[in-house]
């Protein structure tokens, strides 16, 4: 074995040792880094070294200083920002994929990644009940997945009017009306802005008390429109009535895109079928595997009923491109060079199977209901119908809510974020990790109670 290979394997063994130490201690540390750990991160802020550093020393510094400065997202008591945990098989598969270091633009650059993309595409369509032949592109997250699906929809609606966006751009193009709910996620508005479809042509439709778009308030456009539905309101977890939206939009030739960052997985769960009623009739979907499915970051997916529309949105050519008769992944995403994120997605889907996915999603939802019920029994106010994994919590008044949230974050036993719901501050709980247990929920509820006591006494 060569000396360079020996050094490479030694470094990988060091990394595995540090990873093991991290996992064994993560539940014993505060969920958010301590003041000391945050202060220590300042040691990274140094001039660029003139001389080389031993790789083993670099890795040791990263673990010694960096590990304590992480948020314990892989633990069971992180409930912030709808951030999923990482299933062990996904992490292990990612390590192997990182050693492979594949670029997945073309089949000839990584046959294994291209084949796994094709398999995951088919499995996802079957799991979610989407039409056979639905296309999928694998991107960084739902922001880019939303942008991709909306780009496919915009371009296809314009193509039907005789306008080729790739050839002619948007200068002089017929306007495409856009319809979103008042609670549309910021990622949707960001994607629309990047696509040149700003507020001037966007109709914002009122929502109900849970944040669901009111279909009866849709404008009578009479022309094809690009309509964005939501599968999982980022605050309440509520689902837009996608089937009813399709009934209104499709007769006029419109396109329905579903922002389903964390909630689209409900379509795989028979017990949650009422939430996803009609979702299979949409035209495109965006979802994160790194949220509810607990695939390691980053793993977003755009899915599109019309494969040709998705490919047309991202077509490109160059003399050096190497097209094949197989799947060339760059056809389905804005990116050309990209990592082989299909590896860990395949590993998770293969390991869980349909039954495992259903059990995982149902467990997250059950934990959320338990969290809400226990908080309610301690006289906290719950503001949403807990239909998925989101819980909105407040105290007796707004000031107490804000102080309680600050105390929860300071105590470190669990971590939640804040939000605003119908003009009031709330504590937002997102149950997203496979590693969360009943005991984690109990400890988190205790932390809420302790934090409220501290907020009331000012101690």
State whether 19 and 138 are in the same domain: no
**Cα–Cα distance, 386 to 369 (Å, whole number):** 6
Measured CA to CA in angstroms, residue 254 lies from 176, 261, 427 at distances of 10, 22, 37
Domain for residue 445, yes or no? no
State whether 143 and 187 are in the same domain: yes
Rg over alpha carbons for the chain, rounded to the nearest Å, is 23
**Cα–Cα distance, 363 to 77 (Å, whole number):** 15
Domain for residue 48, yes or no? yes
Q: How crowded is residue 117: how many other Cβ atoms within 10 Å of its Cβ?
A: 26
Domain for residue 134, yes or no? yes
Q: Which of 386, 197, 374, 352 is nearest to 275 (CA)?
A: 386
Q: Which of 260, 350, 258, 257 is nearest to 300 (CA)?
A: 260
Task: Please say which residue of 315, 330, 349 terminates a domain.
Answer: 349
Angle ∠(444,33,448) on CA atoms, nearest 5:
20
State whether 22 and 109 are in the same domain: no
DSSP class of residue 203 equals: E
Domain for residue 337, yes or no? yes
Domain for residue 370, yes or no? no
State whether 8 and 129 are in the same domain: no
pLDDT score of 98: 97
State whether 128 and 14 are in the same domain: no
CATH number at residue 158: 3.40.640.10
**Would you list the DSSP string of 42-69?**
GGG--PPPSS---HHHHHHHIIIIIGGG
**Cα–Cα distance, 284 to 420 (Å, whole number):** 29
Nearby residues of 75 by Cβ (< 8 Å), 6 or more positions away: 26, 27, 31, 85, 433, 435
pLDDT score of 30: 96
State whether 58 and 111 are in the same domain: no
State whether 113 and 190 are in the same domain: yes
**Cα–Cα distance, 326 to 448 (Å, whole number):** 53
The answer to whether the peptide bond before residue 298 is cis (omega within 30 degrees of 0) is yes
pLDDT score of 355: 98
Q: Which of 371, 370, 364 is nearest to 414 (CA)?
A: 371
Domain that holds residue 44: 3-72
pLDDT score of 459: 59
State whether 68 and 137 are in the same domain: no
User: Between 342-377 and 111-128, two packed helices, what is the crossing angle to 10 degrees?
Assistant: 40
Domain for residue 288, yes or no? yes
Task: Please say which residue of 72, 107, 133 terminates a domain.
Answer: 72
Task: Please say which residue of 349, 368, 390 terminates a domain.
Answer: 349
Domain for residue 36, yes or no? yes
8 Å CB contact between 87 and 434:
yes
pLDDT by residue for the chain (459 residues), tens only, comes to 688 899 999 999 999 999 999 999 999 999 999 999 999 999 999 999 999 999 999 999 999 999 999 999 999 999 999 999 999 999 999 999 999 999 999 999 999 999 999 999 999 999 999 999 999 999 999 999 999 999 999 999 999 999 999 999 999 999 999 999 999 999 999 999 999 998 877 999 999 999 999 999 999 888 999 999 999 999 999 999 999 999 999 999 999 999 999 999 999 999 999 999 999 999 999 999 999 999 999 999 999 999 999 999 999 999 999 999 999 999 999 999 999 999 999 999 999 999 999 999 999 999 999 999 999 999 999 999 999 999 999 999 999 999 999 999 999 999 999 999 999 999 999 999 999 999 999 999 999 999 999 999 985
Measured CA to CA in angstroms, residue 164 lies from 19, 174, 287, 441 at distances of 50, 11, 27, 53
State whether 135 and 40 are in the same domain: no
pLDDT score of 222: 87
Domain for residue 38, yes or no? yes
State whether 203 and 122 are in the same domain: yes
Q: Which of 182, 310, 193, 196 is nearest to 255 (CA)?
A: 310
State whether 37 and 168 are in the same domain: no
Q: How crowded is residue 57: how many other Cβ atoms within 10 Å of its Cβ?
A: 9
């Amino acid at each position: 074995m060569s000396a360079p290979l020996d050094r490479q394997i030694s470094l990988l063994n060091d990394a595995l040792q540090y990873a093991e130490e991290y996992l064994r201690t993560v539940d014993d540390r505060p969920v958010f880094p301590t003041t000391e750990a945050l202060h220590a991160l300042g040691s990274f802020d140094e001039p660029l070294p003139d001389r080389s550093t031993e790789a083993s020393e670099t890795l040791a510094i990263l673990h010694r200083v960096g590990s304590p400065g992480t948020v314990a997202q892989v633990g069971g008591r992180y409930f912030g920002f709808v951030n999923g945990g990482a299933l062990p098989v996904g992490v292990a598969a990612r390590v192997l994929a990182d050693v492979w270091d594949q670029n997945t633009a073309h089949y000839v650059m990584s046959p294994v990644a291209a084949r796994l993309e094709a398999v995951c595409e088919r499995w996802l369509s079957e799991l979610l009940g989407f039409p056979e032949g639905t296309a999928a592109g694998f991107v960084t997250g739902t922001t880019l997945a939303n942008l991709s699906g909306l780009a496919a929809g915009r371009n296809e609606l314009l193509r039907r009017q005789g306008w080729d966006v790739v050839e002619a751009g948007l200068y002089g193009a017929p306007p495409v009306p856009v319809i979103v709910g008042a609670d549309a996620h910021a990622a949707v508005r960001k994607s629309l802005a990047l696509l040149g479809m700003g507020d001037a042509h966007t109709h914002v439709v009122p929502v109900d008390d849970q944040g669901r778009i009111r279909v009866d308030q849709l404008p009578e456009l009479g022309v094809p429109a690009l309509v964005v539905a939501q599968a999982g309101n980022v605050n309440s977890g509520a689902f837009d009535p996608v089937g009813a939206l399709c009934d209104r939009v499709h007769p006029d030739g419109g396109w329905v895109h579903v922002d389903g960052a964390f909630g689209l997985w409900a379509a795989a769960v028979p017990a949650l079928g009422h939430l996803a009623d009609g979702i299979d009739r949409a035209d495109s979907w965006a979802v994160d595997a790194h949220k509810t499915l607990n695939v390691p970051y980053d793993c977003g997916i755009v899915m599109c009923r019309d494969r040709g529309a998705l490919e047309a949105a991202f077509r490109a050519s160059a003399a050096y491109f190497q097209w094949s008769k197989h799947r060339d992944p760059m056809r389905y995403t804005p990116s050309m060079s990209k990592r082989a994120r299909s590896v860990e997605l395949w590993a998770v889907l293969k390991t869980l199977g349909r039954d495992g996915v259903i059990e995982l999603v149902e467990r997250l939802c059950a934990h959320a209901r338990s969290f809400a019920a226990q908080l309610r029994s301690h006289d906290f106010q719950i503001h949403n119908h807990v239909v998925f994994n989101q819980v909105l919590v407040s105290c007796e008044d707004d000031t107490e809510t804000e102080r309680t949230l600050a105390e929860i974050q300071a105590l470190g036993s669990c971590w939640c974020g804040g939000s605003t719901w119908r003009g009031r501050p709330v504590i937002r709980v997102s149950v997203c990790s496979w590693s969360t247990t009943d005991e984690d929920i109990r400890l988190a509820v205790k932390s809420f109670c302790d934090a409220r006591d501290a907020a009331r006494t000012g101690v």
